[in-house]
Amino acid sequence: MKAHFAGFARYNAWANRRLYDAAAGLSDGRLRSDEGAFFGSLHGTLNHLLVTDVIWMARIRGIKGPPWTLDHIAHDDFADLRAAREALDADIVAGIDALRESDILAGEIAYTRVTRPELIVQPLAHALAHLFNHQTHHRGQCHMILTRLTGTAPELDLLVYQREATAAA
């Protein structure tokens, strides 16, 4: 199970790099244009992904996360957002690598949300599955926005990552 999530952590970082590389060529106006995604723009969606990953990693580590709402703009500047994303992706990889197999199989996390104060307890494996599934969900929205804005978007399929990782090994 640990190898499964470690692979997803590395895939996550790879896919985010490709997404940010594609977005880097957009003007600030296009990054912020409302394209009908749940968080409106590419900028808003990329911030949402960063915000939620910070929150989930705090929960996984058993520490109090920032009091951000899900639409919080953590970084208004794209270069700052990209640097924060790269650092967070490295932290996610290191955090997953630091877990023991037994933590993943039998561990639980407990947290309260900013919007609702009730205590939530869930298996760690479920939280990890959500972390990476959530990323994929919103990266799909980013892919749609890039396609709409530029006519093209990078390949983000897990199988493409796995083939590249295997070839590099």
Please name every residue paired with 112 in a beta bridge, in sequence order, or none if there are none.
Answer: 119
SS3 at position 112: strand
72 is in an annotated binding site: no
CA distance 46 to 30: 13
* Cross-strand bridge partners of residue 122: 109
Give CA–CA dist 67/60, Å, rounded.
Answer: 16
Q: Is 48 annotated to bind ligand? A: yes
d(CA 83, CA 75): 10
The reply to whether 75 sits in an annotated binding site is no
CB 42 within 8 A of CB 22: no
User: Closest Cα partner for 43 from 137, 112, 123, 138?
Assistant: 138
Annotated binding site for a divalent metal cation: 48, 134, 138
Annotated binding site: 48, 134, 138
